Amino acid sequence: MTRRGAPEAVGPARTKPSATLAAVRRPARNNRVDTPVRHGQPERMLIRREVPADIPAIREVHNAAFAKPDAPGEPTVEAVLVDALRGCEAWLPRLSLVATGADGAVLGHVVCSRASVDSAPVLGLGPLGVLPTHQRQGVGHALMHAVLAAADALDEPLVVLLGHRDYYPRFGFRPAAELGVVPPVAAWGEHFQARPLAAYTPATRGAFAYAKPFDEV
């Protein structure tokens, strides 16, 4: 969410205790997607898969969406994380999506990477970021729906994120504890949410783990 309190992006749900507790105290900083459209959609917005030429623009999106007022211009954790995920075995190219405007410029980005619940493969969602100039226009909302639909089409069973408990239920998320999925850090509580897809079975239960870069950035 933006620092003004409107959901605009999903940042990394890190398993380091200090970062985790900060995320629980400040879900608006770590979990941001668009609020419902209030002033109309961007003209001819397109959601598509990431291509290599998008990488610098994706980095710019996450640096802008998650910029800290006391560290302007510095790379954000979210931008570094996306680059790290792209270079590891947890990267899933078909689940790295961008939103582009009428001129083809990248306005937002979302990614799901390989995660696990015990030995079962599932997805961890995030980061999701939208350029500040295009927030509150439905970009993040469209990215969320697109990446969940893409994951469902790939027969992925479950998508997990650390996010605002009053916002993500509109996308079908619920507290992961209701599904027997245990967070890496108990303090995440109800902010730790899961979204079952068509391939989900109740046997998908146990301890959740993100891809390694979430612990390393």
Per-residue pLDDT of the chain (217 residues; tens, 9 = 90+): 333 333 455 665 433 333 333 333 333 333 344 434 444 555 689 999 999 999 999 999 999 999 998 888 899 999 999 999 999 999 999 999 999 999 999 999 999 999 999 989 999 999 999 999 999 999 999 999 999 999 999 999 999 999 999 989 999 999 999 999 999 999 999 999 999 999 999 999 999 999 999 999 8
Q: Record the pTM.
A: 0.84
Tokens describing residue 120: 């079962």
Give the model's pLDDT for residue 44: 82
**Distance linking the first and last C-alpha atoms of the chain:** 20
Q: How many alpha carbons fall within 13 Å on the CB side of residue 208?
A: 31
Structure-token match 């979210």, residue found: 78
- Whether the CB-CB separation of 66 and 60 falls below 8 Å is answered with no
Alpha carbons 215 and 92: distance in angstroms, whole number:
18
The phi and psi torsions of 55 (rounded to 5 degrees) equal -55, -50
**pLDDT value of position 40:** 52
Sign of CA dihedral 191, 157, 203, 122: negative
Report pLDDT for 2.
Answer: 32
What does residue 192 show for φ and ψ, rounded to 5 degrees?
-85, 110
pLDDT at position 9 is: 56
The 3-class SS string of the chain reads CCCCCCCCCECCCCCCHHHHHHHHHCHHHHECCCCCCCCCCCCCCEEEECCHHHHHHHHHHHHHHCCCCCCCCCCCHHHHHHHHHHCCCCCCHHHEEEEECCCCCEEEEEEEEEEEECCEEEEEEEEEEECHHHCCCCHHHHHHHHHHHHHHHCCCCEEEEECCCCCHHHHCCEEHHHHCEECCCHHHHHHEEEEECCCCCCCCCEEEECCCHHHHC
